[in-house]
Amino acid sequence: MSYDENQPSARPRRVGRGNLTIAIAALVPTALAGWLVWRAMSGPEGNEPPKVLPLPSRQTAGKPGPAPSPSPRASYPAATSAASPSPSKGNSSGPLAGKVVVVDPGHNPGNFRHTSEINKLVDIGTNRKECDTTGTATNDGYTEAEFTFDVSQRLRALLEKQGATVKFTHANDRPFGPCVDERARIGNKSGAAAVVSVHADGSAVGNRGFHVILPALVKGGAADTAKIVGPSRDLGERIAGKFVRATGSAPSNYVGGGTGLDVRKDLGGLNLSTVPKVFIECGNMRDPKDAALLKSSSWRQKAAQGIADGIGSYLLR
């Protein structure tokens, strides 16, 4: 998933050293805070943020463009467990027994072949927005949809081992979608204790790192996030801290002012949620260094572990 520069929340933000240290102490877990303090003391000078560039190969909102070519491309082994959109029960004696978690693999491999369908507008509460997008891809054609489904399967296996009941929003068996409003409804109807939407970003070369997207306080139409803003922030902060520890990856250097957290009000999947929910952008598929990590099976396992650890920390708080 990449950013529309017309959205205020999409613009990179950078804060001064003093303010950043204060924000870190208040917002992020110890593991993430330690990294950020070091970054604040040794990072680049100046307050001018880098520009997030649009990608011509990205299917952006309402602007169809050429899809990244899937060939030639390397073969990236996927997780072996099969996914199912119906709940899958875990170890009944595990610490997360009785907890329902919804995992939302971002995008769908078929979206590239159904651009007219995914460009249809749906109600996201505050306005209308495209059903979905194609997602992004690495330069050699490893798509975001492939990445998100692989990490989601790994994540499910880890959560089930701890006893959680895991539900997917889709099992890669649909021609396209589901749309963002349907993804939100699946989480709501399941009564999930937590929902995590797995993504990878598509930004400019040099923009690196992960970030967790949190719901803003919005109210309009079917959208009312008042009850989930606080819990979702707690969930997001815990995932960010555990993700640093598990993967060794740094928080984004282009979104979130170095905190690894970004608050947005333009995402229907968050606006329409009535249960705690966050998105995680695991890295930038368009940066060669980040792409090398995202294409690594062992790194994807670490990414899944970090997300699982964050969810577990939140559910057992």
Is 72 exposed, middle or buried, given 0-12, 13-18 or 19+ CB atoms closer than 10 A? exposed
The answer to the question of residue 2 being in a domain is no
pLDDT-based confidence at residue 153 (cuts at 50, 70, 90): very high
Share of the chain above pLDDT 70, in %: 72
Q: Which of 130, 160, 237, 281 is catalytic?
A: 281
pLDDT of residue 87: 59
List Cα–Cα distances, 289 to 3, 190, 228, 286, 305, in angstroms: 20, 38, 35, 9, 21
Segment 43-65, tens digit of pLDDT: 333 333 333 333 333 333 333 33
Handedness of CA 162, 316, 210, 115 (dihedral sign): positive
The answer to the question of residue 94 being in a domain is yes
Residue 58 structural domain: 8-315
CA dist., res. 164 & res. 119, Å (int): 35
pLDDT-based confidence at residue 123 (cuts at 50, 70, 90): very high
Helix axes 229-247, 30-42, angle to 10 degrees: 70
Annotated catalytic residue 5: no
The answer to the question of residue 239 being in a domain is yes
pLDDT of residue 65: 35
List Cα–Cα distances, 216 to 231, 262, 271, 273, in angstroms: 12, 9, 8, 11
The answer to the question of residue 3 being in a domain is no
Share of the chain above pLDDT 90, in %: 69
The answer to the question of residue 1 being in a domain is no
3 state SS of 113: helix
pLDDT of residue 10: 39
pLDDT-based confidence at residue 88 (cuts at 50, 70, 90): low
Written in H, E and C, the secondary structure of 208-272 is CCEEEEEECCCEECCEECCCCHHHHHHHHHHHHHHHHHHHCCCECCCCCCCCCEEEECCCHHHHC
pLDDT-based confidence at residue 157 (cuts at 50, 70, 90): very high
Written in H, E and C, the secondary structure of 168-193 is ECCCCCCCCCCCHHHHHHHHHHHCCC
The answer to the question of residue 91 being in a domain is yes
pTM of the model: 0.78
CA dist., res. 246 & res. 249, Å (int): 8
CA dist., res. 100 & res. 194, Å (int): 7
pLDDT of residue 2: 58
The answer to the question of residue 306 being in a domain is yes
Q: What is the mean pLDDT of the chain?
A: 81
In the predicted model, is pLDDT for residue 86 greater than 70? Answer: no
The answer to the question of residue 264 being in a domain is yes
Contact status, residue 116 vs residue 196, Cβ threshold 8 Å = no
In the predicted model, is pLDDT for residue 200 greater than 50? Answer: yes
The CATH number covering residue 64 comes to: 3.40.630.40
pLDDT of residue 283: 98
Stretch 144-159: mean pLDDT? 98
pLDDT-based confidence at residue 1 (cuts at 50, 70, 90): confident
Handedness of CA 32, 35, 41, 43 (dihedral sign): negative
Number of domains in the chain: 1
